[in-house]
Structure formats: structure tokens, C-alpha cells
Amino acid sequence: MKKVLFKNAIYKALAFFAVFLSMGACLKTGVVPFAVSAVLTALFFSFTPESSFLSMFAGFLVALNVSEGYGVSALMITFALAGLFTLALSAFRSAAEKKVAQSFDAGLSLAVACLMTVMITTYYFGIGASGHTAITMIKSYVSFGFHANWRGVLYGTIVMVVMITFPRKFKKLSKIIPAPFSALLITYVLNFFLIPAHGVQPVELITYSGVRPVWLTDFDLSVIREPYCHVSVIAGALALCVLNKVQAGGKKELAASGAGDIAIGGLTGYSSALKPVSSSAEFAEGVIAALIIAALCVSTRMINRMPLASLAVVLIVKAWQTVEWGKLKVSFTHLQSAAVILIMFIVTALANISAAIICGFVLSFLFSRKPTEKV
């Protein structure tokens, strides 16, 4: 039992370390707040080798949309508001325990994988494009021209190959040491030989500048005066509430998720929609994982001098690995299920991921009452 506990704790710590810092590097808040979020999430929320990163990445893309459009302040308000919405929803027993249709997961996984590729490829190829939606990012790519920094592409491609092959070649080991961490470790060490610390840096690297509380120093409430900011914040909060609802198994879990959004998301600018720990063993795993994450952050100085391209590819590859191909296949055998998936994809492409999550949830909830849709 203790052996399994330590294995799960190590996997949880290394997976969170790799993925959370990858998300932080690609978001305006930076790696320090995400390191704090990783420690707190590991402590209070459950995650195993069988868990999916889907809700985590969906929440990240919601956060990316809000922060790129309106800044860190709007992002923190979004998570705090999402927590309040989730707590309110947990008060209604019937709403808290109602399940959504499988077409929602299928549509969300496809939308997340495609949008993650569009939004994060700029860091993989070192293009310098910017935007807060798929359309604005694609326009930015056209404006900048798709010229890759091939040194960064080398690092990113190494990460891609390792993440794809490592779980296949080392099935048992990958349940303890996750592929994203293994891939980052290889490029992290390689970079010290290819790019000396005091030499010219041909690719963008993560640099440590001290524990700068970006989420506090950049906090500015004047942003909420913008009318479209209100829409973005409310839509983002509702989308995050939906993600909490989908992950939670009942009132208590939903309430805990809401509290997590307020306490963790409101502080750091990001909180994952995961299941809260439900036993002393899971909490013990969380304590060990949190200590490991903290130790890794300190020892590597927040992965100082890690190529940004490597971190970007972790998100892109892992997002595609979360696609629910089986659910997609089954869902396309029913007209209503296929409609949910297509609408979520189209709304993601033309509007944003928050609107897609809300639309998909409402449609799948309505269609779940039909005999042709499985729940």
C-alpha cells in the first residue's frame, strides 16, 4: 500500500511540475504563480496515472483567452467568480449530481487539442505571434509569416518524440515518471551543452528573476471598466464552473472545487478542475507530491534556462493525447451527438473556448434526455 502511495505521489508531482510550469511559461502570469498553483493543487486535489489532463487544459485555454485579452487582473477575477458560481451550484443537489452526455467530453477534447495547437505553436516555432482567440492568432501568424526558429524546433521535436515513444517503450516506468517530465529533463540537460549560460541565446529560454508576485504587482481593477471585459470574465467564469461540474461527483466535491477556484485561482490566476482528495491516503500522496514539486522548483530555480519551445510542445502533444477518440467515434453515430461536437468546434474556432464550453454543456444536457444519447 505504501509502495503504491509513493509511486502515485511521484507521478503526480512530476506530472504537475512539467505541465503546470509549461502552462505558466505560456501565460502572462509566469511560472512562479503556476508553481504555487501546482503545489496547492497537488495538496488538495486528486490525480493518478489514469487521470486525464482534459479539464486542466480546457481551464488553461479559458485562462489564456481572458489574460491575453484583458490581463492578469481580469483572470484572477474570473477564477474567483467561477468559484462563487460553483459554490452556488453545489447548493442544488439535483444540479450537482446530474451527469452530462459523453458528446460533451468528445467535443471538448477535440476543441482543446485544435485550439492548443493554434495558440501555442508560436512558442514552439518562435514566431512571436499573439492573440486571444483562434482567429486573432491565425491573423497574427499571417502577419508575421511562418518562419521557424530551427534551434527551438529541435528542442520541441525532441520533446514530441520522447512523449510519444516513452510510454510505449517503458509502460511501467511511465506510470511513475510521466513522459512530459522525461522529455523536459532531456532538453533541459541538452540545453546546458548547446547554449552556454553566458553565450548568445538563439532561442527563448525561461529565465528566473526572483519570486516576483506578478499576480499582485500587475493587479489593476481599471480593466473591468471595459464593456467587453465583463462579457469575457463572466463567460470564462461560467465555463470554469461547467468544468468543475463535469469533474465533480456530488455536492461536496463541487463545493470543494468552488473553494479551490477562489483560494487557488484567485491567488495565482489558475486553478485546475480536478476531483478533490477524498481520503487520508490521497491527502498523504498530496503532501508528498507538494513537497517534491517545491523541491524541484527551488533546485531548478523554476526550470531556469529551459527552452520555451520544449514547454510549448508538452502542452500541444499532451492536448492531442487527451482526445477522446473512442467517444468521438461513438458520438458521430448519432445526429444529436455529432451536432454537439461540431458546434463546439465551430464556436471555438469563430468565438472562444469559453463560449464553446457553455454551448456544448447546454446542448449535451438537453440531448442527454433523449433516448438516442448515452450518458
d(CA 356, CA 340): 10
Mean pLDDT for the stretch of residues 217-238: 79
d(CA 142, CA 124): 16
Question: Do 96 and 248 contact (CB within 8 A), yes or no?
Answer: yes
Give the range among 42-46, 208-212, 313-317 with minimum mean pLDDT: 208-212
Share of the chain above pLDDT 90, in %: 66
Residue 224 has pLDDT above 80, yes or no: no
Q: Cell numbers at residue 242, please?
A: 461547467
Residue 372 confidence (pLDDT)? 46
Whole-model pTM: value is 0.93
DSSP strands (E only) in 284-340: 306-307
Nearest alpha-carbon partner for 307 in 157, 103, 178: 157
What letter would DSSP give residue 133?
Answer: S
Fill in the amino acid letter for 309.
Answer: A
Residue 93 confidence (pLDDT)? 62
Q: Which long-range contacts (CB under 8 A, 24 or more apart) does 60-63 make?
A: 60/23, 60/27, 60/270, 60/315, 61/112, 61/115, 61/116, 61/119, 61/353, 62/236, 62/239, 62/240, 62/243, 62/353, 62/354, 62/357, 63/27, 63/236, 63/269, 63/270
The overall average pLDDT reported for the chain is 89
Residue 369 has pLDDT above 80, yes or no: no
